[in-house]
Structure 1
Amino acid sequence: MSRQLATFIVDGERYGVDVLLVREALRSVPRTPVPLAPADVAGLVNLRGEVVLAVDLRLRLGLEPMAQDVDPMMVVVQVDDEPISLLVDEVGDVVDVDDSQFEAPPDTLAAELREVIRGAYKLPTGLLLHLDLAAAAQVA
C-alpha cells in the first residue's frame, strides 16, 4: 500500500508524517511562553484566533536547541482532533512511500528518537523517519 508523507528536516535528518494530518506549514509566529511548562513546550501560538500548543521538536527528540538567531518553521498537525504546532528546522515536500520500503526503527537510533519513531522508509534519497505524532506531541 502506498501513502503520502509530508516531510521536514530537524538537525539534518528527514522526518515524515501522514499528509492528511498536516493542516499547514508556515514561518514561525510569535509564541507566548507557558510558565512551569516542560522545556520542549515552546509556548502557545495564536493561529487566526485559535490557540495552539507549540512543541519544539528538537528538544523533544533530545537534540540541541536551535540557535537563537534562527527562526524555526512550524508544521501544524492534527493530534486527537487538536491542532499542535511542531517547530522544525525546515519544511520539505510531500513524498510517496510504499509499505515495501518500510522497516522497523533502526537499532542505532537514540532512546529519545525510538520513543517517537514508527519506523523508517528506505528511499533512493536516503532514510525517511516516520514520526509518531501522538508520541511526539505528548509533553511530560
Structure 2
Amino acid sequence: MGEELKVIVFALGQEEYGIEVDKVRTIERMSPITRVPKTAAFIKGVINLRGVVVPVIDLRGRFGLDETEPTENSRIIVVAVDELEVGFIVDSANDVIDIDSDTIESPPEIVGGIKAKYLRGIAKLSEGRLLIMLNLSEVLNKSEIIQLEQLEV
C-alpha cells in the first residue's frame, strides 16, 4: 500500500480531475474578475479574496479546451504553489476523496486533449472511474508564474 492522499475532485466537461487537498487554500463561488491587459487569454484576471489579490486562470483555456460561460456550479479553486496563490476556474468542485498513491499510473501522452506534461498521472478508482491528477507546477510553468507574479503588484 502506498500513502493515502486526500484529493479535491473537480470537473471540466465530462472529465474528473484531482488536486491534493494540501495544495488547496479555498474553493470559492464565482466572483467578479478584474481583467488585466496584455496577459494570455486563459489568464482571466484577478479577484480580491479577503483583501488578497489572487490571479485567476480558466483551466479550460489553459488546457486548450473550449471555454464556456460560468454556471451556478462553476467554482474558483485557489491553490498555493511555490508561495504563489492562483485561482483555477473549474466547471464544478464535486468531492473530497481518499486515494492510495499506488493507484496513480503514469499518464499517456494525451488525455482528453490535454498534454501529459500537465498531468501527474491517472488514478484508477472503483467502478472503472478514472481521476486525472494534475501536476500543478507544470500547469503554472515558469513563464506564466512570472506573468502572474506581475499581476500581484
Taking structure 2 as the reference length, what is the TM-score of the superposition? Answer: 0.83
2:41 aligns with one of 39, 51, 59? 39
Distance in 2 of aligned mates of 1:74 and 1:54: 8
Distance in 2 of aligned mates of 1:137 and 1:30: 22
Does the aligned pair in 2 maintain the 1:55–1:84 contact within 8 Å?
yes
Stretches of structure 2 that go unaligned for 5 or more consecutive residues are 148-153
Point out the structure with the larger helix share: 2
Distance in 1 of aligned mates of 2:113 and 2:92: 23
The one-letter amino acid of 2:37's match is P
Distance in 1 of aligned mates of 2:75 and 2:115: 20
1:132 aligns with one of 130, 135, 144? 135
2:121 aligns with one of 116, 119, 122? 119
Secondary structure of the 2:115 match is helix
Tell me the CA shift for residue 82 of structure 1: 1.7
1:51-70 equivalences in 2 (<5 Å): 51-67=53-69, 70=71
Stretches of structure 1 that go unaligned for 5 or more consecutive residues are none
1:3 aligns with one of 2, 5, 9? 5
2:42 counterpart of 1:49: no
Bigger shift: residues 57-66 or 111-120:
111-120
The one-letter amino acid of 1:29's match is S
Distance in 1 of aligned mates of 2:110 and 2:139: 19
Distance in 2 of aligned mates of 1:34 and 1:49: 18
State the identity %. Answer: 34
Distance in 2 of aligned mates of 1:63 and 1:111: 8
1:49-128 equivalences in 2 (<5 Å): 49-67=51-69, 70=71, 72-109=74-111, 112-125=114-127, 126-128=129-131
Tell me the CA shift for residue 102 of structure 1: 1.1
Q: How many residues align?
A: 139
Distance in 1 of aligned mates of 2:44 and 2:103: 34
Cα deviation digits, residues 73-123 of structure 1 (max 9, x gap): 100110111211000000011111112211010345266431210101000
Q: Considering only aligned residues, what root-mean-square deviation do their CA atoms show, in Å?
A: 1.7
Cα deviation digits, residues 9-38 of structure 1 (max 9, x gap): 011111111101111111111111110100
Does the aligned pair in 2 maintain the 1:6–1:95 contact within 8 Å?
yes
Distance in 1 of aligned mates of 2:44 and 2:53: 13
Does the aligned pair in 2 maintain the 1:62–1:113 contact within 8 Å?
no
